[in-house]
Amino acid sequence: MLTPAGFLPISAIFDRAEPAATDPGVRIAQGVEVIAASGASRRVLKVFRHRYRGPVTVVKPMYLPVIRCTPDHRWLATMDPQGLEQQEVRARDLTVDHFLLVPKQSVSFHDRSLRRMS
């Protein structure tokens, strides 16, 4: 997950959160914020862990850690180097010709923008 402090694995957020009384796969996050696709900072309320059996797709974006996700996981991507023609693309359909768009906090004026990552 992208946080205001940088990338943090969901597992790290889960491990730091308080267990919920009703379900061992649910934890209550305290003081955790992530950067949403809009670029806005959002507070995390709960973190979930559950078993998954099935195919996993490995996405290897430049300058970012490897990400493992389900083939149906949707990414905001473009094949336009200017990033003007954005669309949701399932992980299974990503190619080396795609640029992934990830939210990034802008350093100046506390403005939030999208940064193109390939």
Q: What is the mean pLDDT of residues 24-31?
A: 93
Q: Is 41 helix (H, G, I), strand (E, B) or coil?
A: strand
pTM of structure = 0.64
- Residue-range domain boundaries for the chain: 1-51, 52-118
Higher pLDDT, 72 or 83: 72
d(CA 25, CA 49): 5
Residues of the chain with pLDDT > 70, as a percent, come to 86
- Cβ atoms 102, 2 nearer than 8 A: yes
pLDDT in tens, 57-66: 999 988 888 8
